[in-house]
Amino acid sequence: MGVADRGGAALRAVFALALLFGVLGGCGGIWDPGLLAARHPALQRVGVQRLGDATPYLLPARGVLTLFLCRWETPRSIPVELPPDATQSERRLLIRALAAWEDAGLGVQFVPGPAGAAADGGIRIRFGERSDRRAAATAAECAVDPAERTPSQRDRLDARIVSASIALRRSEPDWLGRTVPYSEAQLLGSALHEIGHALGFQGHARRGDTVMVRSVQGVRRAGQQLLETGRFSDATLRALYAVPSGVVVARRALPPGRTRSFDLLAGLAAERGLTGPYVRVGDRAARIGWNRGAQAVYALYVDGLPEVLRRPAHLELIAGPEAADLPEARGGPRVPPGARLACAQSSPGSSSRAWACRASPASVLPSALSTIPSR
């Protein structure tokens, strides 16, 4: 082997190492979009996209953490509840954002309607509180069948998004704390971005030509471009819709006992005829719940989601208030040692029983809060 050959061999070794780190260390080590593209050639045909930046949904069952992607099944008409207090011009912008996604090649259609239109599944859009410091927030709920799959079915769970709720802002505080109304481009960009979360893309693209970036400027630019040119395209969401809903992107064995709470509640839920589990993921936290009708009955929370995705052995399932109070669940679901969980109904009197929970020392959120920071 000559000097040049040795150099080539060394380079190849470095390349092999880089590839290894690409798989194990890149993207925070969560999952490898290259492996998914190898299994699903349709993904390769989408071209440049940032699906690999998506935070996957998670199912911690029978000692294994399964990470998967979830989206609406297509073709599908999705009922959408528009905010009852939207002005004419806000309503026009929201409908424009929905139409832009319809034309983006995903295979989804929206059926906008009045309050109650999305009561049996769909997307509910509201304007949030002005005092809320977050720019906007979306929770998209993925229904999963947790039943054991046969070996040939293991690369896909039976899972789909069944409902989502979006809280939009109309304004944001400026440097002096004064309220500044959103421009049309900001509101339209923000609506495009939050609908992107509602369609199943959780987390944010680190860069690239997608409205799912975290940057406020990037989101506003997408709104501005749609206003000025009528054009909107998003290869990252097209990539999500090019693979089947429920496609598994990673599986990790967990230390013994780590999924006990889930396994116990899944058993109880089956005995009691509850529906679920429904999984939501946000930037920091995830929620796994079971319902009776529209009412939440049991829920488990995962805090420190980015850390758990990097190091699945750190997974702790925290029982929500309902699960913690179940006599059957004693010794099963638990608040981690040293943490306290305080929960309150976020909208008292509401029939949806949405709970806001705060665990100390860590904060635990009851819903997937995917946000664009206001600055």
Residues that bind Zn ion (CB under 5 A): 370
**Tokens 């599908």 — which residue?**
76
In this structure, which amino acid lies at residue 121? Answer: G
| Shorter beta-carbon distance to Zn ion: residue 134 or 260 | 134
Residue 214 beta carbon to Zn ion: minimum distance, rounded to whole angstroms: 7
The nearest distance, CB 138 to Zn ion, in angstroms, is: 7
Give the HSE-up count for residue 83: Cα atoms under 13 Å, Cβ half-sphere.
21
> Could you tell me the smallest distance in angstroms from the CB atom of residue 199 to Zn ion?
12
Which are the contacts of 124, defined by CB distance < 8 A and separation ≥ 6?
Answer: 80, 81, 118, 163, 164, 165, 166
Instruction: Specify the residue, 44 or 215, whose C-beta has the smaller distance to Zn ion.
Output: 215
Give the span between the Cα atoms of 297 and 113, in whole angstroms. 28
Whole-number Cα distances in Å, 360 to 254, 298, 312, 340, 368: 24, 21, 21, 5, 19
Compute the least distance from the CB of residue 204 to Zn ion, in Å. 6
Distance between CA 320 and CA 325 in Å, rounded? 9
Q: Which residue is nearest to Zn ion (CB)?
A: 370
Residue with Cβ nearer Zn ion (157 or 285): 285
CB within 8 Å of 2: residues ≥ 6 apart: none
Q: How far is the CB of 201 from Zn ion (least distance, A)?
A: 9
If the CB atoms of residues 172 and 322 are measured against Zn ion, the closer one turns out to be 172
Residue with Cβ nearer Zn ion (80 or 135):
135
CB 219 → Zn ion: shortest distance, Å? 8
- Least distance between Zn ion and beta carbon 302 (Å): 19
By C-beta, is 226 or 372 nearer to Zn ion? 372
CB of 108 to Zn ion, least distance (A): 18
| Residue closer to Zn ion (CB basis): 367 or 370 | 370
Q: Pick between residue 259 and residue 370 the one whose CB is nearest to Zn ion.
A: 370
